[in-house]
Structure formats: C-alpha cells, structure tokens
Structure 1
Amino acid sequence: SAGLAHINWTENITNYYDNNVFMSSARDIGDKNSYSFDDADHPYYIPPIVPSYSSINSSFYSAFYNTVNEDEDQYNSLKYFKSKQLASVIGFSGIVPFGKKASFIFDSMLFIANKSKLTYTSKEIDVTYTYNTNNPATGISTPQTETQTVIYGEGSISSETSRSTTFIFMPAMRFNQSYTSSFQVALAGFINTNENGSTSAPIPMVSWLTKF
C-alpha cells in the first residue's frame, strides 16, 4: 500500500523552551543565526576578547547576543520552524501461520520526506560592550566602553531541500491461546536516514489481544 501523509500545525511556537508545544523538535528547521563562542573550527567562531576567563568576555558575549537578537520576541524567532510537513508513505504487511496456534506477522511503513535547508551569509556588526576596570591603588571600579567588529552567519531558508527517510518495522510472533485471546511478542524498531547520517533504535513490545 502507498499514500501521502500530511501534518499541519496550526499552533505557533511563542517560546522555543516551552515543553508544552506539540512536536516542537520535529518542526525545528535550524538556527536563524550561526556562530560559536567555543568551537574554534566553526565557520563563524567568535573568539574571546582576552584569552583567559574574564568578566570582559562575559560582557562582550552578552552584548553580542543582545545585538544579534534585538528584534526577536523572547525565544520564538531564534529558530526557523515549519508549519506543515508532507511525506510519501509506503506500507507492507503480511502474516504467515506456523501450525495451528502461532503466526509470524510483519508490519512496516516507509516515510519519505523533504526538509528545508538553511544557508548562512556573512554579516558584519559592531558590538558595543561595557565592563569594569579596577584601579589597584584606589580600589575603585571604573566602567569602560569599547566596540568590537564581529562577523556571524545570518540564516535564510534555501530553495534546496534534503531528504529524510524513516523506516518503521515490527516483526512479531503471535500465539493463540484460545479462540478469543492471544499474545504477541514483537521486536519493533525504526531506522532514520538523513544528511547527518543514520539513527536506529529497537522497540521491543509484548501485547495481549482479546476478542470481545
């Protein structure tokens, strides 16, 4: 069998960290802005102002974050989210009897979907930050303001897409205890493949079935 699956989310995400939002992780396309404070191999690595830990670095990073996201409403716009998802679905199932009281059952579904890609363009901004300097002689702290030019990646949704496939399978043995009841042992699982590689996990299940 085959078909077309469609999911349409009518609920808007107002806060990315709200765990009550339905399927927020499945709707996540990616970050609006690309940068890293820690990974020196990142294409938009932002190094510290001074090598060792200092309040200067904290003030600078905080000012950068606020400057980049000054137009965003809380956390909702820090990421791109999709409002709908289409996927082609192919299903295969069958049953093979083993004697009078046992059967081998196989159910499976293959989902094929496209995911939007993000492209990042270099953008230069001036980050103004303020930190305190201490005078050892007087012990008085004096605020000092400086400006640093920073380059980060500004994201946009590309016309290109990447393909994601998810294969769900459930081989099982069903044992008929009587005409009205049976139990089933299944070693189900899934395999997901996308541009980042493959992910798989087993899902063992035991079911009891009763005829009413």
Structure 2
Amino acid sequence: MSFSQDDQDYSNGNQYVISRYDGGEYIGEIISDDGREILIITQSIGKIYIRKSMISSIKKIENGEITYDEDYKATGPFTTRYYFTNNALPIKKNENYAMINLFGPEIQLSVTNSTSVGIMASWIASPIGVVLKQQLLSKNTFHLSLGTIMGTSGYIEQGSIFGGLHWLTATFGDRSTNISFSGGVGYMKWPSAQNSSIMNNQRRIGENYGYNFYDESHPYYVPENPYDTTTTSYNSIWGWGGYYGYDRREQALREELYATNYYSNFNTEIFQFKDFQLASLFSISAITPIGKKASFIFDSMIISRNKKQLSYTGVREVDIDYTVYNTLTGLDDQYDQTILVGTDPVISDDTYNHTTLIFMPAVRFSKSFEKHSRYRLLVLLIFMN
C-alpha cells in the first residue's frame, strides 16, 4: 500500500484516522505526503511524522463519526474483550495475542478482519477448548457478533467429557467506550456415571433414599426424637468458621443405609447422577476510560439452569441407634429412633431453577499496545427457586 500527493487529495481542515500495522491509531489533519512519510498535526502534541511503511490505512472522519478528541487512540486486540466475556468488535488482522489467566493460558489468532480463532486451556492442558468469533455486522457504533467455544476434558477421562457455549453479542460504542449485551446457551455431556467421577457434585440429582433433617416441608422430614431429653444431640467439631455441629442421628441413619460407602464422593449406590446439562447464559458488560492508561470494566454473567429432582415411590422404616452428649452429666446417653425414608427413586418431571450471578468489576492498565494488566473483584451470587 502506498500513498502520495499525486493520488490522494487531503483537503485542508479534514480529520483522518491513520491506522498503523501495530494497531495504533493517530487522529489529526494531514499536512503533507511525500510518498515516504506523512506529516499530521494533532491537538495536543502538534506535528508528527509517520513513515508510510508503518501505515495500514488512512480513513477520513465524517461528521459525527468520532465524538472524542484523543490524539492517539490505542486499539489493539484487548479492546475486543472485557474480563471474561467479549464484545462484538473484531480482532483485526495481525492483532494476534496471548493471555495468562488464573486457570490457564489463552491464544487468539485473527484469520480475517472479522474472524478469529483461539485456543484456551488449563495449566495442565486439560480441559482444552477451541474459540471462534465471527463479526456479523458493524455499522457506525453498532456491532453484532457470534461466538462459540467447544471443549473437551482432553486427556482426562480420555476426552469423554465435552461441552459447548454459543452466544450472540450486540455492542454499542467504540473500542474505548462501549456496552455489550450477550445471550446464548451452554451444555455439558458426561459419560455414563459408572465411568467418570469428574464434577460429581454438579452431576448429582439426589440420594437413592429420601430424607431431610432440616426442611419440615420435605415429604420425608425427620423430626426430633421425642424421647431425647438431653440438652444437645450435636457433636462440636472445629471448622474454618469456628465450632459447628452435625446431627449424630443423621450420621447413624447414613451408616445404616449405606454403611461406610457413604463417605465415597462418587458412588452410584448412594446417588443418582445426570449425564447432560443445558443452561441459558446472559451477560451485560461495559468499559470506559478513567485515565490515559486505565479503563474501568464491568463484566457480568448470569447462568440459569433447570435441575432435575427425584421422587420416591416406596417407603422404608429404618431403626437407628445413636448417642447424645449430655451437657449436664458430661456423658453420652444412648437413644434409638424409627425413621421413615423414601425408596425406589425416579427422576421427576418437576425441576427447580438454579441461577448463578457473577459480577466482575475490574480495572485494566495499558502498559503498551502489546501488554495489558487487569485487576478484578469477583462477586458470586446464587439463587435457587
């Protein structure tokens, strides 16, 4: 690409955006062009010579197209994303970048000015995923893009666990100040329960026996033992938050139902597991400058999913024996109780909604075009209906 005074007419008074191959942009009036370099004048630092070999494009600014007056606008690949989510602005060609996150590295490569592909993984290279982003529309300050992440567990579980996330993003604004709204779906598929213990807490639907010591509305609520006349039926155990207790009756019931198998984190004799989960995802994110080198980022994500429940078609009486510490005598008293528990579980048609809200306010510091640092505060809220 070359520019000269012979084939370019830079009318006096017009403002231009001069984009460099390194992603930077100068905004100003072009004074001269001798074929090797151009001379521009900016508002704050005056005249600047730029070599033509460094320039990727020169674009005339139309009235109302740019509403700010910075002399140097740092674009670059990091302006295409917030902390975790992304906006609809594209990664321009030759603006490839790498990131180091807490969970692992990430690499993004621009295929064209509107298409990018990337790889993200944990520090042990599993799980690992492929990221695709395609800009669909860009008109003035409105941008629209489609994003996809497809991943597997890698060498963990021989890649038998896989999932995906697909979303649409609408962005209003430019690279320095914008707000984005995103919505999409995510899913995860596990192998059969007997073959995998990955994310077993997320996969659990419920226990094979139905009971509850705390919720009186539960169909198999276990009431207090009416014959228990001691002052406490709890063991005091030291935890991170100080002393907490657990009901000795609950421990006795679990040992009666499951013997010692209950202490296994993943056991199909105790729990019912799912092999597929679908979720809806939404996000609202924004960025605005708070100085020459810093920008404030607000990032968020809302994850909503319906979780399955178990219903029990049978009933079983269970006799338990347990001890209770008597604070008056300092001794353990022996008690017994008959408890009704649900049996023969089936997956119910009824589900309950589980919604997670994640807020990630952050500050990004631009050390240079190639280097950016981000510091964020994570706020996590969980709602279950």
TM-score > 0.5 by shorter chain: yes
Task: Flag the 1:46–1:82 CA change in 2: closer, same or farther, 3 A.
Answer: farther
Q: Which residue of 1 aligns with 2:270?
A: 78
In structure 2, the partner of 1:43 is 221
1:194 is aligned to 2:194: no
In percent, how many aligned pairs have the same letter? Answer: 33
Q: What is the CA–CA distance in structure 1 between the aligned matches of 2:368 and 2:255, rounded to whole Å?
A: 71
Residue 299 of structure 2: aligned partner: 107
Higher Rg: 2
- Give the residue type in structure 1 aligned to 2:369: Y
2:363 corresponds to 1:173: yes
1:72-151 alignment runs, 5 A limit: 75-121=267-313, 123-124=315-316, 151=340
Structure 2: distance between partners of 1:115 and 1:99: 45
Moved over 4 A (4+): 44-47, 60-64
2:308 maps to a residue whose letter is S
What residue in structure 2 maps to residue 199 of structure 1? none
Deviation at 1:31, TM superposition (A): 0.9
Q: 1:97 to 1:45 in 2, by over 3 A?
A: same
Q: Which residue of 2 aligns with 1:145?
A: none
**Distance in 2 separating the partners of 1:103 and 1:62:** 54
Q: Relative to 1, partners in 2 of residues 1:45 and 1:13: Cα closer, same or farther, differing over 3 Å?
A: farther
SS at match of 1:25: helix
The question of whether the paired residues in 2 share the 8 Å contact of 1:35 and 1:46 is answered with no
- Does residue 7 of the first structure (1) align with residue 188 of the second (2)? yes
**Alignment TM-score, normalising by the size of structure 1:** 0.59
In structure 1, how many angstroms separate the alpha carbons of the residues matched to 2:269 and 2:184?
34
Give the alignment's Cα RMSD to 1 decimal. Answer: 4.0
Q: Post-superposition shift, 1:187? A: 0.5
- State how 1:11-22 maps to structure 2 within 5 Å: 11-13=192-194, 21-22=197-198
String of CA shifts for 1:160-202, please: whole Å, max 9, x gaps.
Answer: 110011112211111222333232211122211114xxxxxxx
- Cross-structure match for 1:27: 203
User: Taking structure 1 as reference, are residues 123 and 187 closer, same or farther at Cα in structure 2, changes over 3 Å only?
Assistant: same
Please give the alpha-carbon distance, in whole angstroms, between the structure 2 residues aligned to 1:62 and 1:165. 30
Aligned residues: 160
Which structure has more relative contact order (CA 8 Å, sep 6+)? It is: 1
Question: Once the 2 structures are TM-superposed, how far is the Cα of residue 30 of structure 1 from its aligned partner?
Answer: 1.1
1:60-97 Cα shifts (integer Å, max 9, x gaps): 97995379x9xxxx931311111111011112222101
Instruction: Give the letter aligned to residue 182 of structure 1.
Output: H
Q: Is the CA contact (8 Å cut-off) linking 1:32 and 1:77 kept in structure 2?
A: yes
Q: Is there any run of 5+ residues in structure 1 with no aligned partner, and where?
A: 15-19, 53-59, 128-148, 196-212
Is 1:158 matched up with 2:384?
no
Question: CA 1:78–1:62 in structure 2 vs 1: closer, same or farther (change >3 Å)?
Answer: closer
Deviations 1:103-136 (A, max 9, x none): 0112211111001122335514688xxxxxxxxx
Residue pair 2:193, 2:274 contacting (<8 A) in 1 also:
no
**1:100 alignment partner, SS class:** coil
Any unmatched runs of 5+ in structure 2?
1-181, 231-251, 320-337
